[in-house]
Structures are given as C-alpha cells and as structure tokens.
Amino acid sequence: MKGKIAFEEHMAIPETLEDTRAFAGDSGKWDDFTRQILDMGDERLEIMDKTGIEFTILSNNAPGVQGIRDVDQAVEVARKANDAMAEAVARHPDRYAAFAALPMHNSDVASEELTRCVKELGFKGAMVNGFQQTGQEDDVLYLDETELRPFWGTVSELDVPFYLHPRMQLPSRAPIYDGHPWLKSSPWGFAVETSIHSLRMCGSGMFDDYPNLKIIIGHLGEHIPYDLWRIDARMAFSRREYRGNRPLGEYFLDHFYITTSGNFQDPAFKCCLDVVGVDRMFFCADYPFENMEDAADWYDATEVVSGEVKLRIGRTNAIELFDLDLD
Ligand code: GRE
Ligand code: ZN
C-alpha cells in the first residue's frame, strides 16, 4: 500500500542518544542505530519511499526527557529535541510532522512546552515515555497523579492526541525481574509498564474531568485489548479506590487509540480490531527499533483487512486524528 502514515518513529539528539545504547544489546547494531536514529534526512526518507510510508510523525527516543530527574535540565533537553524535530519538519513539511517531548515534573513546565510546540511549532501532539523520574533517585511521577491534572487541562484545551510510549521499570520498583534482565525491556516489561500506566489513567477520573482526551498506545495495545473484558468482569467484585465514574472498559474504548508499532502479526491485530474497532486502529513501524520494511511488508500483505479498511488504518484515520494537510 502506498501513502502509509506512521507515527511511532523515533529520533534522538546527542543528549538522549545514550538512552538507546542498552537496547542495541550485543547484537552489533549500535552503529546502525546511532546513524539511523540521528538521521532525519536522506536515509530515513529513502526507506520511507521504499516501504510506501509517505508521512511520519517524529518523536524523541525513550526514556529521553522522562529519565532526566533535574527539571531545568529536562526542560532544556526537551526544547532542544523539539527544536531539532521542528527543523526537520521545516525542511520536509510534506514528509514529517512531530510530537513534543515534554518534561513531566509538574504541570507548569509540561503545559508550557506543549503549548509552545503546538502553537508556535505546529506539532501534532505529544509523546511521553511513561513515568517521569524526579527528585531523588527512585522518585517517579505517573501521569494520572493529581498534581498533573492541570496539565491534562492544557492537553484538553489544545485538543491534541497524546502518545504514551513505553519505558523500563526502575530496578528498585521491579524486583520480580531480578535475574532475568532480558524480560524487562521490549519483550515483555515495556508492555507491563505501559499497560498498567494506561489502566491507572482509566481509573483516575482524568477522563471524567476532560472528556475529549485522546491517548495513543502502540504495540497493538500493550496487551490490554486481549484482557479488557476480564478487567471489567473482575472489577464487578473489587474496585477499591477506583476513581472513574464509569466502567474501565468504557474509558478505554472512548479515549484510547492503538497502533501496530513493533507488533506485526495477524492474531493480535484481529483481536484489537474486534475489541476497539477500525476507527481506533493505526499503522506504525517503530523505527529504528524495528525495520520499516518488516512493518510495511506485514501490513501490505495481511489479509485481516483489505480495501477501504486497509486504507483507513494505514492512512486516513491518521489524517483525521491529526488533522494532517494530506489528501
Ligand atoms: C521503542 O522505542 O519502542 C523501543 C525502544 C527500545 C527497544 C525497543 C523498542 O525504545 O521497541
Ligand atoms: Zn517506540
């Protein structure tokens, strides 16, 4: 399929590049990663051309700003990453848009940078890499916490989508992974962390406060669609300190959007389509952690969707969600 749009596609600046090194592992891929994630020019555009990806919304790598505890430094790095993306967008406005990287230490700094990015730089929303590290070594701030509620007021007012991207748990908070570090990152731990974070948001009342919030998650829903029915079924028995007015599944279906990033397989794709429906599904690759070729080859060939539906998930849903200036 030509004309695909993808929007979990990462870039780095020198200040955030090292975050990615651990994920290159011992696969000998670090040099390739470095070149690919720093590049927003020829190589990336050539692969997009080759794979039928017409347009990409860029985002900073993980954990990026969320791993910087000092608020002033985080603000500075976020601004730098956002300015770098804005430059690339200005060079190739027909191929790129961008998501803001945000310091999430408090509502003021987060709102200020998001507003700058949307109003002055024309960004299409934000991508945040899970919880924000703050203060002391093991301090974290989750996005559903009350002190960040004014930030969601800003997101609501600007009316832009918000991509919740995975990051790894801190060792102090995840002893269950001890002795099995391979399990902690993208094979499993990313989805555990991101699914719990998403469910916390559903159970926090933030969607009652701001009914127009739109949250995007990748990797075919970070395991949630498969279990959405069971969550509500079990919550009929136990919902201590659940702060939503409605059943959790309703918030998920009303507020969440799901992409194919890094999960190129029919069974989970079918499950997502059954649970959230065609309007809530989007093609993405997750470059450079995934090959655009693998993403596109699978999507172009899958028989789970065809014709108009393939076009919607691969392209037109994104044009509508982000109000892109494409036909
Ligand atoms: C991602 O951005 O989705 C990612 C990483 C690191 C490893 C794998 C992966 O940041 O998918
Ligand atoms: Zn990603």
312-322: average pLDDT: 98
Q: Ligand 1 mean position to 169 CA, how many Å?
A: 14
pLDDT-based confidence at residue 284 (cuts at 50, 70, 90): very high
- Nearest atom (ligand 1) to Cα of 286: 3
Cα gap 289→287, rounded to integer Å: 5
Residue 210 beta carbon below 6 angstroms from any ligand 1 atom: no
Q: How far is the first Cα of the chain from the last one, in angstroms, to the nearest whole number? A: 15
The answer to whether 197 and 256 are in contact (CB under 8 A) is no
Q: Nearest ligand to the C-alpha of residue 189? A: 1
CA distance 80 to 161: 21
- Going from the C-alpha of 157 to that of each of 42, 151, 215, 319, the distances in angstroms are 36, 10, 15, 20
pLDDT in tens, 2-30: 999 999 999 999 999 999 887 776 677 88
User: Which residues are bridge partners to 55 per DSSP?
Assistant: 5
- pLDDT recorded at residue 258: 99
Cβ of 262 less than 6 Å from ligand 1:
yes
Based on DSSP, count helices (H) and strands (E) in the chain, helices before strands: 15, 10
Q: Is the CB of 23 under 6 A from ligand 1?
A: yes
For all residues of the chain together, what is the average pLDDT?
97
Q: Is 312 in the pocket of ligand 1 (CB under 6 A)?
A: no
> How buried is residue 156: exposed, middle or buried, by Cβ count under 10 Å (0-12/13-18/19+)?
middle
Cα angle at 263 between 260 and 264, to 5 degrees?
90
Each domain of the chain, given as residue ranges in start order, spans 4-322
Question: If you take atom 4 of ligand 1, which residue's CA is the nearest one?
Answer: 289
- Say if residues 202 and 177 touch (Cβ distance below 8 Å): no
- Cα separations in angstroms, 145 against 10, 64, 250, 314: 27, 20, 20, 34
Report the distance separating Cα 280 and Cα 256, nearest Å: 7
Q: What DSSP designation does 100 have?
A: B
Q: Which amino acid is at 320?
A: E
* 100-121 residue pLDDT tens: 999 999 999 999 999 999 999 9
What was the pLDDT predicted at 136? Answer: 93
**What distance in angstroms lies between residue 289's CA and the mean position of ligand 1's atoms?**
5
Q: Which residues surround the ion ligand 2 when the cut-off is CB under 5 Å?
A: 8, 286
Ligand nearest to the CA of 191: 1
Residue-wise pLDDT for 125-136, tens only, equals: 999 999 999 999
Which residue has tokens 């949250």? 215
**Gyration radius of the chain's alpha carbons:** 19
**4-322: CATH superfamily:** Metal-dependent hydrolases (3.20.20.140)
Taking CA atoms, 207 is separated from 42, 145, 232, 255, in Å, by: 41, 13, 17, 8
CA 320 to chain centre: 18
Q: What is the pLDDT of residue 26?
A: 67
C-alpha to C-alpha distance for 142 and 131, rounded to whole angstroms: 5
Q: How confident is the model over 28-71, as pLDDT tens digits?
A: 788 888 999 999 999 999 999 999 999 999 999 999 999 999 99
The residues annotated with a catalytic role in the active site are: 286
Ligand 1 atom at minimum distance from 185 CA: 7
